[in-house]
Amino acid sequence: MNTQIIGSLLKLYPQAGHLAHEELPEQTAADIRAFLDRALYTE
């Protein structure tokens, strides 16, 4: 589905289960921040 959404990014966390944001909070927060920075600060 991410190929159908312009600007989307598929991020996989093989070492996590169904709750990556709870199991890997630092990594998911950093990835979300990077995605938002790209989305908000690129023209």
Quick one: pLDDT at residue 39? 81
Q: What residue segments make up the domains of the chain, in order of their start?
A: 18-43
**Cβ atoms of residues 23 and 16 within 8 Å:** yes
Structure token digits, residue 19 = 């709750």
What is the pLDDT tens value at each position of the chain, 43 positions in all?
778 888 888 999 999 999 999 999 999 999 999 988 988 876 5
Transcribe 19-30 into DSSP letters. -HHHHSHHHHHH
Reported pTM? 0.75
